[in-house]
Structure 1
């Protein structure tokens, strides 16, 4: 039985394209549209998700190369927050337990959506696995008995319901409506971004402008593709320039560091473009398809989708938010090295996706000043919270990795504290 549950969790929940495709298909069938419309909508949703994944993969490869440059240049050894890596380790050790937790959590979540006013349905399958892995990794080593599954599953289900609800008012201000919510376990970070932006900054007269230094480039900056490519080239060029003569030369594959920077910035830009196109395609189809599910099963429910759903509303702000947050992460790493403390090496992927989304929220709410300040705070948060979580993951061994996003870290810390 548990083998079948594990297979279901990995094959369905663990494959976002299939999972969201099935949701779209069921919604369109319940809406009683024509068969060709069902087929078209289902395929477009799945292709949109795959485009998002391809874009994330392309951008991730480039960012991983950037991480190698940083580590080789400064010869840093420490913990790298990376959700996918640590979740894989948890599944190797506790695969069946993670699968059972996922099933229990999804049931609890759907019951909450069906019978309470919290009507968000969490559709980001990989984050479901991340949160399940956090609970299992922290709770199971304590060997507290069979009800550990109920505890972990309940925490997962409640988190899936509360996470989108916590930040929906800010998401609504970004998107202009309530057709979609955000399903990403960094909701505490997004909530903090919204609170700080609205509390500390007034709405600027020209709300979405950056400072004077870049206003002359404003016509050019309307072309997000060009701006993203330029920003990413400067980032890779700087990292490659200072890495010449280190162990990173093998990464250049015989190319001049200048050419390496150009290629990596193009990969990153192409990845971002694919993400934006995939999000638009997915949302355009999943929202009308989901109305069928909402009308028949969970009336009034709102689909919650992964954080890049906000990127198209301010792509440049997402890139600037990432750069600010990552810069703070690097500075914090140096401070830890100076203090000879446990070192958290900034994880490129969480700084990009989580802080990029923080940048979009802050920028759309209160403009560029709020973006710089809030993303700096968020970068510091991503650098310090892992220090508190690492001791509770000791049972996984000397892994050199940990969970990255605020919700995962805080839930892990809270569960670890309660268990101990």
Structure 2
């Protein structure tokens, strides 16, 4: 068991290894030679690492905003250190989480092979943390023994991995840059909501990405430039509201807030460039390689990949989605404070950026500008209210949920928790 857990925690939980193995298996199935397999595998793994490291660093760059916004609204600031939060969160459920993750992935592969839902969930970092949510809900809300938690949890995770990819694949129709794969991401429920709202109330003809702007401002259509400027201005405005003296003392280490804001903006632009470069490198290799799996091993299957793969096609939606989700999240936070809700919550900025961007992309694809705004606003409210409902149910897993609780955590988590409570803790 110790060897198996070592492999799960140190190999399978590293999404880059799973991505690499997929390329190797796919190319071997196509009878490619080793001198073709090796460079393709390495390029895919390097591209994925660029996306993953870029995304993590990009998210981490947002965390100082959380402290400043807490100061502005005079709220308790919760720890934004992901490493510390992981150590606290995994302490009581680490073994159950690892086993649920491993067996859940196996169930996903079996469902893809033997049912009509041909989707292989390849975002291991997503399913790993979702395994933790399931483990926490079962451990802290039921009387199930260890083996029961693992067995029930693995089935739940396998079903989630398969069916979330399936309904997102339906929503992907009409989304630019989404050909050949579906999304395996814990914003799937938000993407579904955004798609439905966009179809009901949007106007597909008014594409956010084709919005007319003065010729001299055409440079804003480039995501790197636009995000750099937007994040610089956002950091500066928030620093001013938090007061420059407090910000310099508590956030910047004495650095002037204008210099601090410019550096943060440039850093943000640099990491989004890394992500986009990684996207192009990875897609050029993994989609052709996956054809071997789709043709030989799991017929007609599709890979489920991560959200940033769509960013290059929707630069404006990424920015609008983040800002709208942030505004909605802050509004929701104030509403909860006004009604004296017993759990203090704060918008988790990493999910706010990535799920806000994703819901705006799907909203725009299906309902233009109005769809993008409605979808990302709804996402922000779901994140904040869902987090408020979720936190009392997850015990020691709460610290990581305050930082990484994306839309599926805040939708499916409370629903599962309420069902378990109705069942009397099983």
TM-score range relative to shorter protein: over 0.9
Q: How many Å separate the matches in 1 of 2:207 and 2:411?
A: 37
CA contact (8 A) 1:5 1:100 kept: no
Corresponding residue for residue 262 of structure 2: 262
Deviations 1:349-383 (A, max 9, x none): 00011111111111222222221222111111111
Corresponding residue for residue 241 of structure 1: 240
Offset, 1:61: 2.8
Matched position secondary structure for 2:303: strand
Q: How many Å separate the matches in 2 of 1:207 and 1:4?
A: 51
Matched position secondary structure for 1:175: coil
Offset, 1:274: 1.0
1:323 aligned to 2:327? no
Offset, 1:197: 0.4
Corresponding residue for residue 275 of structure 1: 275
Q: How many Å separate the matches in 2 of 1:59 and 1:28?
A: 32
Offset, 1:88: 4.6
CA contact (8 A) 1:78 1:344 kept: no
Offset, 1:282: 1.0
Offset, 1:320: 1.4
Q: How many Å separate the matches in 1 of 2:103 and 2:369?
A: 42
1:388 aligned to 2:389? yes
Worse overlay, 136-145 or 87-96:
87-96
CA contact (8 A) 1:329 1:346 kept: yes
CA contact (8 A) 1:307 1:353 kept: yes
Offset, 1:170: 2.3
- CA gap of 1:322–1:82, structure 2 versus 1, over 3 A, is farther
1:346 aligned to 2:347? yes
Q: How many Å separate the matches in 2 of 1:105 and 1:266?
A: 40
The answer for unaligned runs of 5 or more in structure 1 is none
- CA gap of 1:289–1:398, structure 2 versus 1, over 3 A, is closer
Offset, 1:230: 1.3
Q: How many Å separate the matches in 2 of 1:26 and 1:38?
A: 9
Q: How many Å separate the matches in 2 of 1:155 and 1:224?
A: 37
Q: How many Å separate the matches in 1 of 2:178 and 2:227?
A: 27
Matched position secondary structure for 1:401: helix
Number of matched pairs: 417
CA contact (8 A) 2:177 2:310 kept: no
Corresponding residue for residue 181 of structure 1: 182
1:221 aligned to 2:215? no
Offset, 1:414: 2.9
CA contact (8 A) 1:78 1:400 kept: no
How much is the aligned-residue C-alpha RMSD, in angstroms?
Answer: 2.4
Corresponding residue for residue 401 of structure 1: 402
Q: How many Å separate the matches in 2 of 1:61 and 1:127?
A: 17
Worse overlay, 185-194 or 55-64:
55-64
After superposition, residues 77-88 of structure 1 pair within 5 angstroms as: 77=76, 88=87
Matched position secondary structure for 1:184: coil
1:106 aligned to 2:105? yes
Q: How many Å separate the matches in 1 of 2:257 and 2:119?
A: 47
- CA gap of 1:58–1:78, structure 2 versus 1, over 3 A, is closer
CA contact (8 A) 1:120 1:161 kept: yes
Matched position secondary structure for 1:303: strand
Corresponding residue for residue 308 of structure 2: 308
TM-score in terms of structure 2 length: 0.91
Q: How many Å separate the matches in 2 of 1:114 and 1:83?
A: 36
Q: How many Å separate the matches in 2 of 1:398 and 1:86?
A: 5
Deviations 1:111-144 (A, max 9, x none): 1101111000000001111111111101123232
- CA gap of 1:407–1:224, structure 2 versus 1, over 3 A, is closer
The answer for unaligned runs of 5 or more in structure 2 is 422-426
CA contact (8 A) 1:81 1:403 kept: no
Matched position secondary structure for 1:377: helix
Offset, 1:392: 1.0
Corresponding residue for residue 334 of structure 2: 334
